[in-house]
Amino acid sequence: MSETPQNEEQYSRRALFRVGAMGGALATAGALLPGVAAAAPSTGAGAAGLRLRPLGRHLAYGEDPSRQVVISWQELGAVTGPYVRIATASGTFGPPIAAEARTLNSELAWQDSEHDFPPHAPATMSQYYLHVRLNDLAPNTTYHYVVGHQGYDPTTSGRPGEIASFRTAPAAGSTGAFTFTAFGDQGVGYNARRANSLVADLAPAFNLALGNLSYAITSGTANAEGGHTDTDKYDAGRWDSYFSQNEIVAAGTPWMIALGNREMEDWYSPNGYGGTKARFTMPDNAWSGATGIYSWRYQNVGLLCLDGNDICYRNTGNYDYTKGQQLKWMDTQLGKFRGDPTIDFIVVYLHHAPYSTADAGGAESIAQQKWAPLFDKHKVDLVLNAHNRLYERTDPIRAGKGTKQVKPRGSVTPALDGTTYITVGGGGQGLDTFYKNAPESYLDHESSSGSPTMKCFKKNSTSHTDTAVTWSRVRYRGYGLVAVDVAPAANGSAAQMTVRALAEDGTLIDEITVRRA
């Protein structure tokens, strides 16, 4: 375990918000190794926390999920000595592991696009996020954990229900099957909770949260979807509801997030991502200072998370903010994945849609021009995105063209056929429509009528180009998610992924099998 002092750091683009002192360390610990725990930091002045209870626990994997897990949570007030204690199934809880405290101070907690200052009450809000990074865990092992602070320890307070569990990934090269899930545009509410219920039923190894997470930026106008301080409508407290809502699954299933346009909370710098950096701890290993751009692997699957705000013409707050750095890193990392004989599949995930025939968000022409050629070059198997709040699957695409029709229950060999693109934005926050009212077409409800049309917005403009397409194979306007069942090669059989689209009640909407050549 180590403790690195943190200097007070200002995260303010317009002096409206700032992240307070990161008082404490990013703690590291081997599982249940004896030793003296680092001194637990304080989030600042305040009560010892006798009457406060941790909430909103959420997990994330590190770059190596067989050995690295991050435990994060929230406190509703300042507490002293926040910590995690962990145990294996056969052991007892070890000593407290000090948490890093990240306090997000919002001097404007709620703003309506139709009103200027003074802001609506409350004018200020402080949110307290805690994080512990666990390293050197044992692969394929179940751990139990509790989070607490001075004056509150669930293991001694008669609250066994607050003990949560997680499981590390098997070591790279393991041949066991596993499932992961993905959806975006969740928000907070009834349908969002139904998505969580479905995730809980599926018990995946991890979930990909494809951006536009809490909808704390709630404005729905065309130019106020993140990155516009003067016009966006923002409710910082919605993040409290988001984490509380998701804790039922996120406390035991790692959620790996992508950044959406509504994560561009322009009050928090840098690049509007200061709030995200306070709330989450992703690997962020693309380069020093990267946020929401990272790669990792789970057994035989290489996963790469991209920031679509970098190429989005419609929500231009962060357009081209990486100055080509993301593109160069992507090319290098995809090459490493494809050159690794122990990786069968490459899955790319992001918020914005490279290819879609939806109306509201359309498709991203820059992704088609700059990113898709790299997906072709490195034979990416699957691209998952949200942004459009519906479900759509393309036929395999190469060089911008569909290569063959793949109906529900069909199969794809990406090395030969190209990359499949799936939009899965029906996580709970409302639904969008298909452009020009293209009809739905999905399992047992297939339609050949209509003319699916792709809409691509022009830069800094509401105008767009329209292109009739033939690759839009499955379209479903409803809530749901994608479950990917991965079966590594075994007994002479090639590795394969079964990709299932499920409506929020579990009904099968679409299914394809993705095979290695």
Assign a CATH topology to domain 1-171.
Answer: Immunoglobulin-like (2.60.40)
Per the DSSP assignment, residues forming a β-bridge with 181 are 207, 483
- 3-17, 182-196, 249-263, 381-395: segment of lowest average pLDDT: 3-17
Sequence ranges of the domains in the chain: 1-171, 172-517
Per the DSSP assignment, residues forming a β-bridge with 61 are 69
Cis bond before residue 373 (omega within 30° of 0) = no
Question: Would the pLDDT of 44 be above 70?
Answer: no
DSSP secondary structure string for all residues of 224-278: -SSS-TTT--EETTHHHHHHHHHHHHHTTS-EEE---GGG--TTSSSTT-HHHHH
pLDDT given for residue 91 in this prediction: 77
Question: Would the pLDDT of 505 be above 80?
Answer: yes
- 117-131, 390-404, 430-444: segment of lowest average pLDDT: 117-131
Helix (H) or strand (E) holding 500: strand 496-503
Q: Please compute the mean of the pLDDT values over residues 293-300 and round it to a whole number.
A: 98
Alpha-carbon distance of 208 to 306, in angstroms, equals 12
| Backbone angles phi and psi of 26, in degrees to 5 | -85, 100
Is there a shared CATH topology between the 1-171 domain and the 172-517 domain?
no
pLDDT given for residue 229 in this prediction: 57
Q: For residues 88 and 141, is the Cβ–Cβ distance under 8 A?
A: yes
Question: Would the pLDDT of 467 be above 70?
Answer: yes
Q: Please compute the mean of the pLDDT values over residues 449-458 and round it to a whole number.
A: 91
pLDDT band of residue 52 (cuts 50, 70, 90) is: confident
- 136-145, 212-221, 267-276: segment of lowest average pLDDT: 212-221
Alpha-carbon distance of 425 to 478, in angstroms, equals 9
- Determine the residue type at 108: L
Q: What is the pTM of this model?
A: 0.90
Q: Which of 15-29, 150-164, 176-190, 258-272 has the highest mean pLDDT?
A: 176-190
Question: Would the pLDDT of 1 be above 70?
Answer: no
pLDDT band of residue 222 (cuts 50, 70, 90) is: very low
pLDDT band of residue 493 (cuts 50, 70, 90) is: confident
Alpha-carbon distance of 105 to 216, in angstroms, equals 15
pLDDT given for residue 215 in this prediction: 94
Which has more pLDDT, 8 or 236? Answer: 236
Classified as helix, coil or strand, 373 is: helix
Question: Would the pLDDT of 210 be above 50?
Answer: yes
Both tokens of 24, joined, read 């404490």
pLDDT given for residue 20 in this prediction: 36
Which are the contacts of 387, defined by CB distance < 8 A and separation ≥ 6? Answer: 184, 185, 211, 212, 260, 261, 308, 351, 352, 353, 356, 361, 423, 425
Given the candidates 3.20.20.70, 3.40.50.700, 3.60.21.10, 3.10.129.10, the CATH classification of the domain at 172-517 is 3.60.21.10
| Backbone angles phi and psi of 244, in degrees to 5 | -65, -40
How, if at all, do strands 97-98 and 83-88 pair? Answer: antiparallel
| Backbone angles phi and psi of 385, in degrees to 5 | -145, 175
pLDDT given for residue 251 in this prediction: 98
pLDDT given for residue 202 in this prediction: 98
Question: Would the pLDDT of 26 be above 90?
Answer: no
Burial 207-225 (b: 16+ CB within 10 A, else e): bbbbbbbbbbbbbeeeebb
Question: Would the pLDDT of 266 be above 90?
Answer: no
pLDDT band of residue 25 (cuts 50, 70, 90) is: very low
pLDDT band of residue 120 (cuts 50, 70, 90) is: low
Alpha-carbon distance of 169 to 160, in angstroms, equals 25
Cis bond before residue 254 (omega within 30° of 0) = no
What percentage of the chain carries pLDDT values higher than 90? 72
413 class by beta-carbon count within 10 Å (0-12 exposed, 13-18 middle, 19+ buried): middle
pLDDT given for residue 21 in this prediction: 31
DSSP secondary structure string for all residues of 411-474: EE-HHHH-BEEEEE--SSS----BGGGPPPBBTTB----S--EEEEEPTTSS-EEEEE-S-EEE
- 177-181, 264-268, 340-344, 354-358: segment of lowest average pLDDT: 264-268
pLDDT given for residue 164 in this prediction: 95
Which has more pLDDT, 115 or 513? Answer: 513
Average pLDDT for the chain: 87
pLDDT given for residue 228 in this prediction: 56
Interval 407-450: pLDDT, tens? 999 999 999 999 999 999 999 999 999 999 999 999 999 998 88
Q: For residues 426 and 390, is the Cβ–Cβ distance under 8 A?
A: yes
Question: Would the pLDDT of 6 be above 80?
Answer: no
Which are the contacts of 422, defined by CB distance < 8 A and separation ≥ 6? Answer: 382, 383, 384, 385, 391, 392, 393, 394, 482, 499, 501
How, if at all, do strands 464-468 and 453-457 pair? Answer: antiparallel
* CA 123 distance to own-chain centroid: 29
pLDDT given for residue 301 in this prediction: 97
- 21-25, 190-194, 331-335, 464-468: segment of lowest average pLDDT: 21-25
Question: Would the pLDDT of 112 be above 70?
Answer: no
**Which residue has 């693309």 as its token pair?**
286
pLDDT band of residue 231 (cuts 50, 70, 90) is: low
Angle between helices 190-202 and 238-250 (to 10 degrees): 20
pLDDT band of residue 16 (cuts 50, 70, 90) is: very low
pLDDT given for residue 31 in this prediction: 32
DSSP secondary structure string for all residues of 408-427: TTEEE-HHHH-BEEEEE--S
pLDDT given for residue 168 in this prediction: 98
Q: Please compute the mean of the pLDDT values over residues 315-322 and round it to a whole number.
A: 92
